[in-house]
Amino acid sequence: GLQAYVAMRNDLGYVLVKDIERLRGGVRAVALYNPSDTVCRFSVPLHCLELGGKVRVRDLIRHKMEPAVSDSLCYTLAPHSVRIFRLEGARRLDGPGKYEGEWSYLPCFNDLGRAKGVCYDSCPAASGGMVIRYLGGSPENYAEWDDVYSSEGGSYELTVYYVPGKYRKLELSVNGERYDAGKLATEGTMSSVKVVVRLRPGNNVIRMGSSYCWAPDIDCFTLTKQF
């Protein structure tokens, strides 16, 4: 019953991934989807799929094994086509390193025509082509990622990528502990802010928002282990 999510956009296509057999196991289902009118060339780094080492590849539509890979999954797809694979890695990595805004849960999301309600919206400058827009303005209007995984926990540098704007503030918390994002940029196409946070072993909950004013439009965030 797990929903697949868009791990990345490649050329004009989409890479979707989900766990199968067991959560956080070494086996994942991956779909390469080309909805465009032109040929799409996919080159998907395995770390974006959270798999490491030698990875076995089985084509689930053609019912046959493909050559194993250890760096990237590379295929060329015709217009309006899809390929679906079962990938079995030698090891499961902690996480993708980058978490897109469109992966988050928005408790105040309302798709019934409410004006300026928090939503996922198109943004060509964003890494996945989308941002979280109209975030903040009240404590309950936040974005939450509840499966940010770390096998060992510890100190991480969290970098938030956002669209600058005037009178914006970003409140950030990890497992209920608040961190100060500091002063944000007010001009430009895209900017970023870095905060050192602490993760616990296992799944972590990261929230972003702003209690009393708009938060910036969120593109994504990355996590880098501090040594």
Look at 58 and 9; give whichever has higher pLDDT.
58
51 confidence band (pLDDT: 50, 70, 90): very high
What are the residues whose beta carbons fall under 8 Å from the beta carbon of 10, sequence distance 6 or more? Answer: 32, 40, 41, 42, 43, 44
pLDDT at 227 exceeding the cut of 90: no
Name the token pair of 114. Answer: 């409410």
Mean pLDDT throughout 92-102? 92
Average confidence score pLDDT of the chain: 94
Mean pLDDT throughout 55-74? 97
Q: Which of 5-9, 51-55, 99-103, 196-200 has the lowest mean pLDDT?
A: 5-9
What pLDDT digit, counting tens, does each position of 23-35 carry?
Answer: 999 999 999 999 9
With beta carbons less than 8 A apart as the criterion, state whether 171 and 180 touch: no
pTM of the entire structure? 0.90
Name the token pair of 126. Answer: 């964003």
Distances (CA, A) of 167 to 103, 123, 141, 212: 26, 20, 17, 11
Give ∠ CA 174-178-179 in degrees, rounded to 5: 95
Q: What pLDDT shows up at residue 114?
A: 58
The whole-angstrom separation of Cα 191 and Cα 35 is: 30
pLDDT at 136 exceeding the cut of 80: yes
What pLDDT digit, counting tens, does each position of 121-134 carry?
Answer: 999 999 988 999 99
Q: What pLDDT shows up at residue 113?
A: 61
The whole-angstrom separation of Cα 66 and Cα 62 is: 10
115 confidence band (pLDDT: 50, 70, 90): low
pLDDT at 11 exceeding the cut of 80: no
User: Which one, of 34, 44, 43, lies nearest residue 12 by Cα?
Assistant: 34
What are the residues whose beta carbons fall under 8 Å from the beta carbon of 112, sequence distance 6 or more? Answer: none
Mean pLDDT throughout 60-84? 97
